[in-house]
Amino acid sequence: MNYKLLLDTAVAAGELMLENGAETYRVEDTMHRILSLSRLQTAEVFVTMTGFVATLDDPSIHSMTVVRRITERGTNLDMIDQLNSLSRNLCSGELSLEAAARQIQDLKSHPWKPGAFLVSTPVVTAAFALTYGGTLSEAFLSAVTGFVIAVCLYACRRLKLPSFFGTLLSSAAASVLASGFLRMFPFFGNLDSVIIASIMPLVPGVAITNAVFDTLHGDYLSGTARMLEAFVTAAAVAMGIGIGLGISG
């Protein structure tokens, strides 16, 4: 077996899973299952929210250790699902190591589609407005502000700005747009309903859920780190709304 390729495959899978919002225990379990295919004496993985260490060692080979630092994190449940299926097929023997490595590289080369993100975000914000009892006009305005949020997030990602500033700028832009429009056309709807629906894609629900999961699985370091990440994101949303309302008077 090509142990170097096996280690690289496990590392690439773990890197993608962490970058797309997978729980720490899920990443660790997936990587460990892939590395266990080596049948070597030592196949260990240590994963935190911001990086991981993977090692293969045996008296018959030279020890191999890889360290990865994760600097960008988002949420892409479809990516996690594809990686889960890929790892199951690899571990069950339905997929060869070379084919698995190629598929992971393909996923890494096409992480997400900007067009789908720019279209789905306005749909989600409009749906939230209707769910919270808003009118059709409020849903329309929420969709517009949702599109502005999506554009801001995409631009900040392309500029490689920290996620805190992307969330802050996006919520501020949505707040300025919504409050300014309703100031000119007060009959169009309620400002609170529009802003609440607009910021829902920014709410760190997945981070809070993963923090609970990691804590329950004994990963207290990652659970605490994810909870702090959720707090920082929520603070950025609140600050952005406050700044936007202040700018619009």
Closest by CA to 87, choosing from 15, 20, 10, is 10
Residue 116, pLDDT > 90, answer no
145-195 pLDDT per residue, tens: 999 999 998 888 888 888 889 899 999 999 999 888 888 888 777 888 889
Residue 246, pLDDT > 90, answer no
The C-alpha atoms of residue 42 and residue 56 are separated, in whole angstroms, by 6
pLDDT band at 248 (very low <50, low <70, confident <90, very high): confident
- Parallel, antiparallel or unpaired: strands 42-48 and 51-57: antiparallel
Average pLDDT, the chain: 88
Residue 111, pLDDT > 80, answer no
Tokens representing 94? 């339905």
Closest by CA to 199, choosing from 131, 247, 145, is 145
Residue 76, pLDDT > 80, answer yes
- Kindly report the pTM of this predicted structure: 0.77
Q: Which helix (H) or strand (E) holds 210?
A: helix 205-216
Residue matched to tokens 């490595």:
101
The C-alpha atoms of residue 104 and residue 86 are separated, in whole angstroms, by 8
pLDDT of residue 184: 85
